[in-house]
Structure 1
């Protein structure tokens, strides 16, 4: 009996035609073929307090030479479509995987897109002519220019612990490109990957493949903070087991092959501190430099000498923020990045959390403060007579009421959103972090009474605070909730559930700014972390305007403290969490000041770094004026968003919905016609949701009694709206049910009632006939057959029911007459 292809689903086409053709060509089902390969997670869209992911389609089939070494993409469609219908979709997946071979099929054959043959990019081939693994691999090697000498390293297996954990598509690209570069004898490599995208895991897989192939036998992993080494050893590098050691006590033990070390443990200003000289210059074959934008970037850095001593080793720099200033350059040392994956790409792919910004402006910051002639501070020190401004506060002078107001604003924000939301407050220095902690403790007595670790200072000088860093980062540990810091937590801290980042620190460095923002960009869906908020008191977020910043915010609000502190009815929080249009550009009208190298000590504390020689530094006596009794007041507020042109505009969520839908439907008639003609209304609803129209949030803003059709007619086209209940009642009044059997009439009435309560999905959903009010009539197939004459007749009745629900575009107008 012949198969009627036209009636087969896409899944049937894959199972009955495509997979047999691929396997007949010699592809191994277990090792070389993967189906339904999801490459992205789906961008998180935030509307108010509601967050959702966009729907992500998966590549139907990906073919591999070996696991994590992709070669080709196959995109299938049902036979009712043209044979090459899936090509553009396949090309998109191939771009992410960086593979040159794309096949599209409807079961009749394949359209083969071959980037290795630019003279004839696309050809049609029969099912029986699908290329073998050897044919594609040979073409791929020629395309990439691989030599026989390169192949053993390029084809070395990834680490697989059997847990099912697999590298993401961009990690595969970074790993494979690095291995390929090393196979070509490239010895300086830079990987630029946004914070939270798994740089350390990527480094582990690179090291593993080089180590297992014996291309690199002794490896050094360098970092500048204890927390980074500790996290690396316990987590990603754990499979190295007994081959790995943490080089402490200024000792390099040649018995081990994988060495983890702090820069500070290997060198110092005195010759006896230069532990790296204990071994020969060719001892290490490979050096990985984590966070290489910091100390190792500068030519005259004390830490650069380690890299220059082991100059024959392959050196790989990892960073989220390649430092490029007049004085410091990573690119000068490492060369152009071998691979880059940006914050913007991470947010678009759904691997990183989006964020919104609340700017709080204080009058004293904008206007400055000048002491009276001869005025002394609280300690009797004569205050220098000049105007002090936002750059001075908490650095050269402390206005105590300002600290109290900032702490009160943070407390009120948390109380109205989530008092247990993990929060990092970045202060100017350790003294400022101390005072901020104290102010927050006094403002949160009930929370502190429950657990004294509710607010803690975590800085380099405080062993008790540093001991709590792991608990703060652990999603399973509730405490600490709020931490104050200055430099220690700017980078390398994997706090997945951090929901609030507070900026009360002078930041001019785009490098530092991106690192701080990175503390919140990790996603942890299990613990409800999909997005985060930045509360900015020092205009630091004006750095979004910098061309080197690639992750634009969901929303920027400029406000005043009492809108957070004093608004008893909660309208500020409603405004804050109620309207976040997508943004495409980070331009602002803010200032752009020259970047500062914060590693030089500008704005930082030596005590924040893990240093073995910091105590030997000569320190000049420094006076920080302490001033009480200065009134700190609010200033004006405004709510601002970025439009697609990068201009600051005032826009509500309804405005965003209107603009989004008008791009797709030119008029009310266009919309109603396409709505009525759609086989499934839910398809239109889902498509608009993927464009950022979150119906739940819009209904909260307008009315929960309207379905998406009426929400659009009302919000976008200014039409009066009918509620779902009114639409259902209008259908019942028309008595069109009388042509059906008694049972069918009861089923249709029950479906209308369900529509009135839940919306159109209650009619169209696959479980519509399983509702409690309908199940008494029998099983779905039984109902369709007995009440309507069969599934075809049932579907026709549902189509008619939907048509009647939305039949007259004049209904709402008649309602008002």
Structure 2
């Protein structure tokens, strides 16, 4: 017991120091930690503690943390590693009251809780909040009743934009009102948006702190979120709001919307643009990937820094281990999603989880509903696409079924699954799901031409200029997108000689430099120029964007008239997102500057859009897709035994094998220390000097274009004569005990991270995410669970033993034996491996 108490204390001491607390006076400031011998309770206080007081404490508080005036701020109650921190809950509450402290920390060194005694129950945290963070949080005194009682009407946002709008002449005059609203860009909440806000107020009254809004694409989730943000800030129930998105283009889009809607009440910023001043803003917008990468969210923020966290497109932005970012912060949580609960599917638990995109889809959706306390599938508020169409706010598509004999082959149950290239992915997925075979077998030059000709012949035309309507084409891959773009430009040049000069269609994928800006310019009608047919009419010269996955989620371009699915889709939410790009209404007269010509346009409003479906995707989801089916997942395929150097066979091609003998001239052994050889250290320094001197690479890094930067680095610097830089050489030079990624070496070279994390540091991070997600109640077994968690990731033999069910082999397994396995509670023996298979990229730990 004494050893477990001592181990817990050592860990707690380290966690306190890492968060900025001080045991001794230093140049950073006076000591702000008082240990138990210095904080003795009075006899009356000891007596008041009752039977639950641990006699070994002799009436002392474990740790008392002080504020900047050396006044008591937090009581930290420490428990031994084999005890749950919660057993000291009431004891700590009495300690805190005796010292007039509002905050309590409960910890056994592995599992930690933060408790605001004025706000409900203790919450699991993975990092202790620092002195500054808690000092700021102390000034925060939320009152949920104020939030519940706040009157929210249709003009809730309008009153922020223009407080006296109702007294303006333009508003009072009925005939001038539409122009007045348009000129001042006033936004009124639609009835269903108002119901969403009011439903959240009801949920808060019911004692809930987590909410999920299920709203169809095009129904104004951002405007609704703005109203929620104002509600929390105005009523004093939030000091600062974190808005998480999953794509770079949505980051800028969301921030601009909040600036326009709330600038008179709150300051909104993008975190990466104001890293040093983010505390001065009430709304901080960022991508979840940027915070998740290398555990940045723990280094940059304390758990108490945000009182409301909103996840846009929640099933994507908190999918997988990104959920740890969301769970890291205490306080209220709101998720926004366009994916209906009907798409949640069951799966065969007897089959191992794979990276099948359909299974990942199901997993992400279930994670979303579980995260927001909606395991039943009932969201806090729901407004579907059909609701929007029936209420006159959205448009249903005109489906053009244009399948061919070849494409119908993909409708089998075993059909081909393709990976949509994620523009923000930091990991090497390691699988392509037959993507190359797919293109080779199904996309001949003739097939691509048939697709494009059908689209050009039957697509809707712009009602003002008569030219081909703005269109998004979804391709299988970047290579396929390039082929389609070429064909479309050839067809356009044939129909309109000299008009477009290869500007009709544009490839918009992650490999194209400036692709993100292309998406913005397309929405703003200035992609490659504008007014190509009518000088008075501003519309994008480029008429077609060919993409893979960049323009699926949250992309707002209401004047889209055609969508073309030139690829099969197996993900329901992906299909909904793609279709949603065309559902918004639009008045094309907004871009016609010659007022005299307005009356000449007979049908200026968008009342329909065409969805060209070349793979019977609509039929698949309408008729053949069984939303209640049990997914039969294929077994994992391994190509080599864990202990075989070459997979049990011959060495791979290119491996050096000596064919001649030679005499040994010298023989000398030298043990290299942890600092490595000087030549190794110089090798990495030389690499840093070269890459940081490259202007193109520097610009890409500063712009956050990590995918382009990593591709450029590999192409320009890796495996070139003279140095032959590569990841393995750089890993050895840096003395890192695990595999590195290209992005990591880039971030280290450009000073974005101070050093590379060790294998064990990454393992600790991953386990912390697991604890945040599952919040294990049997915390006394947390040490055994952590040992199992780490061993399962790092020990390939252990994974094989458990997968094969040969538990007796644990008796001879050196790193994790039968006694270790039995120490893990039975219910966690399956859950931990399942979690790791789903959310932990094992290749990082090789």
In terms of fraction of residues, the more helix-rich structure is: 2
Question: TM over 0.5: same fold?
Answer: no
* TM-score, structure 1 normalization: 0.45
Larger Rg: 1
In terms of fraction of residues, the more strand-rich structure is: 1
